[in-house]
Amino acid sequence: MLEQQIDGVRRRALERIQSAANADELEAARVEALGRKGFLSNASKEFGKLAPEERARAGKLLNEAKQAIETALEDRRARFDRDTLKAKLESEWIDLTLPAPGIRPGSLHPVTQVQTEIEELFISMGFTVLDGPEVETEYHNFDALNIPANHPARDTQDTFWLTNGLLLRTHTSPVQVRGMQKLGPPLRMIAPGRVFRNEEVDASHEHTFYQLEGMMIDRDVSVAHLIYFMMTLLSSIFRREVTVRLRPGFFPFVEPGFELDIQCLICGGPGCPVCKQSGWVELLPCGLVHPNVLRMSGIDPEEWNGFAFGLGLTRLAMMRYGIDDIRLLASGDLRFLNQF
Ligand code: PHE
């Protein structure tokens, strides 16, 4: 009787284990079979009623059943573990052969792009690129450029004076002075860099902007040379022929001095908001180097002469890319920068 009971319990337990669909059902099957109130412990309670010789046989059967059930439980559990692992691996699978979602590289700032292009152009024409300090002496920024103290031209450059008597350079022209002193004639140099003016900020004015200074000193340099280099510069930047005009312009360090205008690239002449309806855009102050400037830097104006220009690099970049607000350039706004 007991033997049959054990056999039945064993079969039932194994069936339940086999058909358990998940870990919970398997646990329920285990409790039912092996738990303290389970079938097997119920069966062993019958032991006492058995004759001693039957007891041994039934005990053996009981142990076998218990072992078989435990083995089945373990197998089933292992299979669940394998299934769980497989499902996990499948759900976490990554296709390493898929193309990566493109890296978005940064790009050079529009002012840097224009600056680099101009540098390359002038290097190809035998010019050297020079750098100068942003914190300058009064001598380099003014005196050596023929702008003595109390000269009214100082007032037109709203200077940031530092408490130690130095200043933030108001233009890149002091690098002319440094270039002449360091390299001497003949000289072909450009000097891009940041300049500072204490101006009120609006769509076309910033307290910090970029200029690119140029200077060529040689024998018999004329305005024709100046115009040639300026036209080469502008048509290379705008990638087309440009029309320019010279107007007289006053700067103490050049004589004669000019304002070089280019015909408005937006409207082509008739007038638009960009050129303030004039058809021309002021872009390039320039001129032949004043003899005083040469002399002060140790160059004999009887033997040498030259031209100089002070390109508004920031304004040029704005024109080239059609940027209508100077404040965007230093805004750090990625929506703006991503376009270049
Ligand atoms: N330094 C002048 C300015 O910033 C520009 C300039 C440079 C004019 C060279 C003539 C020659 O206003």
pLDDT in tens, 193-210: 999 999 888 888 899 999
More confident residue, 195 or 73: 195
Region 13-40 average pLDDT: 83
162 alpha carbon to ligand 1 midpoint, in Å?
22
Our mutation pick for probing the ligand 1 site, out of 147, 151, 173, counting the most ligand atoms within 8 A of Cβ, is 173
Give pLDDT, residue 156: 66
334 Cα to the center of ligand 1, angstroms = 32
Q: Which atom of ligand 1 is nearest to the CA of 312?
A: 4
Residue 171 Cα: closest atom of ligand 1: 4
Which pLDDT band, with edges at 50, 70 and 90, does 179 fall under?
A: very high
CA of 192 from ligand 1 middle (Å) equals 13
The residue contributing the CA closest to ligand 1 atom 3 is: 171
pLDDT at 18: 86
Full DSSP string of 125-175: TTPEE----SEE-HHHHTGGGT--TT-THHHHS---B-TTS-EE-SSSTHH
Q: In what order do the strands lie in the sheet with 254-263?
A: 128-129, 187-196, 208-218, 305-312, 280-289, 254-263, 244-248
DSSP state of 49: G
Q: How many CB atoms lie within 10 A of CB 299?
A: 22
CA-nearest residue, atom 2 of ligand 1: 310
Nearest Cα residue to atom 6 of ligand 1: 310
3: amino acid identity, one letter: E
Q: What percent of the chain has pLDDT over 90?
A: 51
pTM of the model: 0.70
The residue behind tokens 């304004």 is 315
Across residues 174-179, what is the average pLDDT? 98
Mutate to test the pocket of ligand 1, among 156, 223, 253, 314 (most ligand atoms within 8 A of CB): 253
- Please list the residues that pair with 310 across neighbouring strands: 213
* Best mutation site among 171, 247, 255 for ligand 1 pocket (most ligand atoms within 8 Å of CB): 171
Q: Please count the other Cβ atoms lying within 10 Å of the Cβ belonging to residue 178.
A: 19
pLDDT at 272: 80
Residues of the chain above pLDDT 70, percent: 99
* pLDDT (0 to 100) of residue 94: 87
For ligand 1, the distance from its centroid to the CA atom of residue 288, given in whole angstroms, is 11
Q: What is the mean pLDDT of the chain?
A: 90
Q: Is the dihedral of CA 286, 288, 291, 296 positive or negative?
A: positive
CATH of 110-337, one of 3.30.930.10, 3.30.465.10, 3.30.70.270, 3.30.1330.40: 3.30.930.10
C-alpha triplet 181, 299, 259: angle, nearest 5°: 85
Nearest atom in ligand 1 to the alpha carbon of residue 195 is 4
What is the pLDDT, as a whole number, of residue 59? 81
Which of 251, 260, 284, 292 for a ligand 1 pocket mutation test, highest count of atoms within 8 Å of Cβ? Answer: 251
3-state secondary structure of 287: strand
Nearest CA to ligand 1 atom 12: 171
Which amino acids bring their CB within 6 angstroms of ligand 1?
Answer: 171, 173, 251, 254, 257, 285-287, 308-310
